[in-house]
Amino acid sequence: MHPGDPASENRIAGIYEVDFGHPLEGVAPGQRAFAVIDHGESRGHHMAAEVAPHLPARSGELLKFQAGAIPGVLCPLAHGRAADRNGRTGFYVVMPVPPGPALLAPGVGAFPPWPEADILHQVLRPAALALDGLRARGITHRAIRPENLFRAAAGEPVVLGGAWAAPPALFQGAIFEPPYAAMCTRAGCGNGSPADDVYALGVTMLVLALGHAPMAGLPGAAVIQAKLERGSFAALVGDERLPPVIQDIVRGMLAEDPEHRPTPALLADIEVARGRRVAARPPRRAQKALEIAGHAAWTARTLAFALAREPAAGVPALRNGMVDRWIRRNLGDSALAARLDETLHLRASPADAATQRDDATLVMRAVAVLDPFAPLCWNAVAVWPDAIGTALAAMEEPDPAGAAAPLGDMVEMIGDEAVAVWAAARADRADPTSARLDANQYRALLRQKGWGGGLPRLRYTLNQLLPCRSPLLRDAAVVRLADLLPALEGLAIAGRGFDGLDPEIAAFIAARGDHGGEADLLLLGDPRRADQHAIATLRLLAGVQSRTQAPAAPALAGWLGTRLAPAFAVFESRDRRRQREAALAELAASGRLGALLALIDDPEGIATDRREHGAASARVAAIDHRLDRLQAAASSRAALAGRLGQEAVAAAAAMGLVYAVMAALLA
């Protein structure tokens, strides 16, 4: 094969060819995966994990792996587009094939518990070393669970599976995540911290030691409720017995405060990890539960969870003092009640005065005080600020249960700059200044008018590897700006109903490009200026072709040419119009949109045409004026000649009369 051949162009990074005839099972849990043919020098055994069309891969993490592989991790080697046998193009992340099967297959029930030594030396230590390597690069894994840990054979150390082709923690069950992550909306967990990976590793060890997954069959909300009420370790272990070393280490790994969990480096030394003690007090429990829409709250954190789940029922309880009285009288925590009152009523700045009265803001502030570890909770949405982009992307699609996602709540949250208000309510655990800057930027993009702004622009800006969602490009996986023009050229060649840009494509260009095309994007969104849409489209796409060095697009240029011919009506010279109409066909065939734009959008040529037309018009006017003067002079001479003729006739008649009289007298 040679460069330019379809097979060569379909390779990721020029060397990895996805073998769609060879699907792989169990190597990328939650995603489809295929074998990869490596045409590079290494000829290694690789796989390609498919990225869901409506979700982005982890762009930041993929970039951080450019520094090289990390031992004990299936590190990404490349990422890019590939077309299957049906012509459908997808986006894939290439990584090594696991060395062997997963520790547990998905859906496995009971199994023989693992020996303590195997858990410590084949799971804990190698996984901790791998996590420490990730930590050194500023990377979190966020997909640690038994089905995503692999080993070559019994007795061999585990390898962390791939976690780069989907948003963080997307496929993690509620038992493997701390409550503050498990309660988040789909794709809203964010990157988290190494402490969250330590937590997931601790639960994995617990599963292996028990021989089954605790709380199996319980819905996620029940798992979260139990963890918040009793603490994660007590809720997961219950009355079961664990090997002493496993119990000591896992108890610390499941600490409620992420700062209290051991670091990956500490866990790599098992003796040191076991000797570390965490003074974890059980959560303060009330004498009587507070009911919020049928949810019993026994602790401050379970009250926060109930308010987050049932905000409509929680607002009256907050406003009428029921929550305050319960905290003071039943929970016995007057300091917490004072902090809650101060946050809800006294800390609002004048700029926040309007939103302070809003029910969603009220509940959000309350949750932030009652549970300092909780995410931002706004109506039906719970999300970490760094996951707003991925949550927005996921909310465009039905969630796994088939229910409509609360996209409207998310848009309202961004429009009200809730991130800034939330950060101010928990300033000891957030950076309010940075949060306000982000919130301002998000709201500005959301409120930007025209096709270059709004929700699509914000979605693409926050997700650098999210494919363009235009219905025209549904099967094209247009992720980079450089992918756009070839995909549009393919549509123009196929004639599949391409009728110009749509709001999704326009927003994609605005988010991916670095150009001054805002005026054209505004123009495209204005139906009153439909006569200028074709030239605006050409300007945008010519800019894309120039910046990305995209190949020629003759079919696309031809489509544009048929709609741009009327633009030559601005030229007064018929010769110029004919010349440019002839050049239009030639340039369209070349597929060079910049040259086509120069022909159409030519202010200098138009000015020259108008100048020459003006000069010619002036010359014609001068000639007409001279002809008018000559005609006027000729009319005057004709009138004079007429008068002289009349006088001559009269004189002749008079002379005739004289002669007649004289003749009569003489006679």
pLDDT at 401: 47
Cα distance between residue 598 and residue 539, in whole Å: 10
pLDDT over threshold 80, residue 86: yes
Q: 540 with 578: CB under 8 angstroms?
A: no
**Residues 543-558: pLDDT tens digits?**
999 999 999 999 998 8
Domain ranges across the chain: 6-96, 116-275, 290-447, 461-601
Q: Which CATH architecture has domain 116-275?
A: Orthogonal Bundle (1.10)
Instruction: Supply 595's token pair.
Output: 């040259």
With pLDDT > 70 as the criterion, what percentage of the chain qualifies?
82
User: What's the confidence (pLDDT) of residue 371?
Assistant: 96
Q: Look at residue 355 in the predicted model and tell me its pLDDT.
A: 44
Supply the pTM of this predicted model.
0.86
Question: Which has the minimum average pLDDT: 12-26, 227-241, 340-354, 455-469?
Answer: 340-354
CA separation, residue 534 to residues 226, 560, 566 (Å): 60, 7, 10
| Across 100-124, average pLDDT | 94
Cβ distance 91 to 50 under 8 Å? Answer: yes
pLDDT at 602: 57
6 — pLDDT class (breaks 50, 70, 90): very low
Measured over the CA atoms of residue 447, residue 450, residue 453 and residue 455, the dihedral's sign is: positive
Indicate if the pLDDT at residue 607 is higher than 80.
no
Residue in 244, 272, 269, 243 with CA at minimum distance from that of residue 115:
243
616, pLDDT greater than 60: no
1 pLDDT higher than 50: no
Q: What is the pLDDT of residues 452-484, one digit of tens each?
A: 899 999 999 999 999 999 999 988 999 999 999
- Residue 642 reports pLDDT greater than 80: no
Least confident of 121-125, 309-313, 660-664: 660-664
Alpha-carbon distance of 271 to 100, in angstroms, equals: 29
Q: How many C-beta atoms lie closer than 10 Å to residue 92's C-beta?
A: 27
Range scoring the smallest mean pLDDT among 6-20, 32-46, 440-454, 591-605: 591-605
Residues 228, 234, 238, 242, CA torsion sign = positive
- Under the banding of pLDDT at 50, 70 and 90, the label for residue 44 is confident
Strand order in the sheet with 89-96: 16-24, 33-38, 46-50, 89-96, 78-83
586: left (phi over 0), alpha (psi -120 to 50) or beta: alpha
Split at pLDDT 50, 70, 90, the class of 23 is very high
Q: Is there a contact between 355 and 421 (Cβ–Cβ < 8 Å)?
A: yes
Check residue 460 and give its pLDDT.
96
How would DSSP label each residue in 145-180? Answer: SGGGEE-SSTTSPPEE----SSSTTTT--GGGS-HH
pLDDT value of residue 206: 97
Q: Which two tokens stand for residue 292?
A: 């919020």
CB neighbours of 582 closer than 8 A, spacing ≥ 6?
A: none
Indicate whether 116 pLDDT > 70.
yes
Structure token pair of residue 297: 């709250």
Using an 8 Å Cβ cutoff, are 47 and 95 in contact?
yes
* pLDDT mean across residues, the chain: 86
pLDDT > 70? residue 404:
no
Tokens of 419: 């991130």
Which tops the pLDDT comparison, 667 or 277? Answer: 277
Cα–Cα distance for residue pair 620/128, rounded to 1 Å: 90
Q: State which H helix or E strand residue 342 sits in.
A: helix 334-345
Which of 104-108, 232-236, 478-482, 663-667 comes out lowest in average pLDDT?
663-667
Say whether pLDDT at 399 is over 80: no
pLDDT for the residue numbered 496: 65
User: Which of the four pLDDT bands, split at 50, 70 and 90, describes residue 318?
Assistant: very high
Q: Determine contact, residues 476/89, Cβ cutoff 8 Å.
A: yes
Q: How many residues does the chain have?
A: 667
Comparing 45-54, 203-212, 534-543, the range with the smallest average pLDDT is 534-543
pLDDT at 601: 67
Return the pLDDT at 56. Answer: 94
pLDDT value of position 584: 76
The pLDDT tens digits of the residues spanning 183-222 come to 999 999 999 999 999 999 999 999 999 999 999 889 999 9
Element containing residue 92 per DSSP (H, E): strand 89-96
Model confidence band, residue 522 (pLDDT cutoffs 50, 70, 90): confident
Answer for the pair 145, 200: CB distance below 8 angstroms, yes or no: yes
Hey, how many other C-beta atoms are within 10 angstroms of the C-beta on 275? 10
> What's the distance, CA 516 to chain centroid?
21
- The angle formed by the CA atoms of residues 532, 536 and 538, to the nearest 5 degrees, is 120
Confidence of residue 302 (pLDDT cuts 50, 70, 90): very high
User: When comparing pLDDT for 565 and 295, which is higher?
Assistant: 295
Q: Which pLDDT band holds residue 449 (cuts at 50, 70, 90)?
A: confident
Q: Specify the pairing of strand 16-24 against strand 33-38.
A: antiparallel
pLDDT, position 620: 60
By C-alpha distance, which of 133, 125, 159, 155 is closest to 245?
125
Paired sense of beta strands 295-297 and 149-150, if any: unpaired
Say if residue 348's pLDDT is above 60. no
Instruction: Give residue 615's pLDDT band: very low, low, confident or very high (50, 70, 90).
Output: low
Do residues 107 and 63 touch, judged by C-beta distance below 8 A?
Answer: no
pLDDT value, residue 572: 53
Which tokens belong to 397? Answer: 């699609």
Pick the CATH number of 6-96 from 3.40.640.10, 3.40.50.1370, 3.40.50.1820, 3.30.200.20: 3.30.200.20
Q: What percent of the chain has pLDDT over 90?
A: 63
Per the listing, tokens 């986006």 go with 91
Q: CA–CA separation, 551 vs 557, rounded Å?
A: 12
Structure tokens at 498: 């391409």
Contact of 12 with 80, CB cutoff 8 Å: yes
Q: Encode pLDDT of 247-290 as tens digits.
A: 999 999 999 999 999 999 999 998 888 877 766 677 889 999 99
Res. 635 pLDDT band, cuts 50 70 90: low
Tell me: pLDDT of 2 over 90. no
Distances (CA, A) of 218 to 196, 214, 222: 22, 9, 6
Q: What pLDDT is recorded for position 530?
A: 80
Cα distance between residue 287 and residue 328, in whole Å: 11
Between residues 41 and 641, the one the model is more confident about: 41
Pairing assessment for the beta strands 89-96 and 159-160 based on DSSP bridges: unpaired
pLDDT for 353 equals 44
pLDDT at residue 221 in the model: 95
Which of 278-287, 336-345, 442-451, 465-474 is predicted least confidently?
278-287
**SS3 of residue 80 by DSSP:** strand
Task: Lowest mean pLDDT of 244-248, 303-307, 383-387, 650-654, name the range.
Answer: 650-654
Q: 388: burial class by Cβ within 10 Å (0-12, 13-18, 19+)? A: buried
Q: What mean pLDDT is predicted for residues 531-544?
A: 88
Helix axes 311-319, 300-309, angle to 10 degrees: 120
Report DSSP state, residue 397.
S
Listed residue (316, 420, 308, 318) closest to 373, CA to CA: 308
Query: What is the rounded average pLDDT of the residues 359-365?
Result: 93
Residue 403 has pLDDT above 70, yes or no: no
Query: Is a pLDDT exceeding 80 seen at residue 624?
Result: no
